[in-house]
Amino acid sequence: MIIAVDGPAASGKGTLASGLARHYDLPHLDTGLLYRAVGLAVEGREGAPDFEDAAIAAARALDAAQLTDLDRLTAAQTGVLASKVAVIAQVRAALYDFQRDFALRPGGAVLDGRDIGTRICPDADVKLFIQADSKARMERRARQLEARGVEVDRYALYHQIEERDARDMLNPHGGFYKADDAHLLDTTLLGIEAALRAAIEIVDRTMALKAGGPQPS
Ligand code: CDP
Ligand code: CDP
């Protein structure tokens, strides 16, 4: 079973994807980490004439070992860098195989990102598109960073997320939209447990429907 989870920054897709992976005993890939790792590899070179080439080379050379420094990878500024390398078509192409291979593991997988249901796994068994209003998303990200001891300027964070959302929405190579067959889940008013329960219900219902059996009530 392949589950695709997409949605904008801090919508809760990663938390939901890891909860689904635990529930169904599947491996989970946070694909944002790949773009973040490429962003970190070219940190400080923004505006340089070889920025694109450096990002493409970094994406082609990406190694799983670069996905472990979560403190640096998940920093808000790294997210902005990630969105800058994510608009380069060859970077996206270089990261495609890693994601696709992960998805095609025997037994299945859960992947979360922006283009899982549209580009990476258009054939996923279940697709979820997670939404939450931008103020709620900013507050969630702020608390997540504060819990790690990072001092947060909410005004700057809000603008950072807006800037990233805007770049993502305009990304011509993105596919950052809800797939026609994705289920929309708005988590603005849902806590983590309630959102996970809602997602499990959607997955079970969709799988039962596919199997042609009775739908769980
Ligand atoms: O967790 P959050 O939503 O804040 O960010 P992320 O999922 O780690 O993604 C960081 C950035 O990487 C996004 O803003 C996108 O620009 C890019 N990205 C992408 O282009 N395609 C994906 N499948 C995942 C992330
Ligand atoms: O992966 P994405 O950037 O979409 O978001 P996340 O990292 O899963 O969630 C961002 C923060 O919001 C985390 O600290 C979650 O615990 C929190 N969260 C929440 O408060 N309520 C939810 N329904 C989902 C996530």
Interface predicted TM-score (ipTM) of this complex, two decimals: 0.97
Q: Confirm or deny that 39 is annotated as ligand binding.
A: no
Residue 14 in marked binding region: yes
Give the confidence band of 170 by pLDDT, cuts at 50, 70, 90. Answer: very high
What's the 211 CA to ligand 1 centre distance in angstroms?
32
Provide mean pLDDT across the span 143-170.
93
Listed in sequence order, the residues at least 6 apart from 58 whose beta carbon sits closer than 8 Å to its beta carbon are 37, 38, 41, 42, 85
pLDDT score, position 214: 61
Contact partners, residue 135, CB within 8 Å, separation at least 6:
158
pLDDT, tens digit (0-9, with 9 covering 90-100), for 116-147: 999 999 999 999 999 999 999 999 999 999 99
Closest residue by Cα to residue 20 from 153, 118, 151, 128:
128
- For the chain, what are the domain ranges? 2-211
pLDDT at 215 over 80: no
What are the two backbone dihedrals, phi and then psi, of residue 142, each rounded to the nearest 5 degrees? -60, -50
In this structure, whether the domain defined by 2-211 belongs to CATH 3.40.50.300 is answered with yes
Split at pLDDT 50, 70, 90, the class of 71 is very high
Those residues whose C-beta lies under 8 Å from the C-beta of residue 41, and which sit 6 or more positions away, are 54, 55, 58, 62, 66
pLDDT exceeds 80 at position 60: yes
Does 10 belong to an annotated binding site?
yes
- The residue whose C-alpha atom lies closest to atom 14 belonging to ligand 1 is 83
The pLDDT score that the predictor gives to residue 178 is 96
Note the pLDDT of residue 175: 84
Does pLDDT of 34 surpass 90?
yes
Joined together, the tokens standing for residue 92 give: 């996206």
* Total residue length of the chain: 217
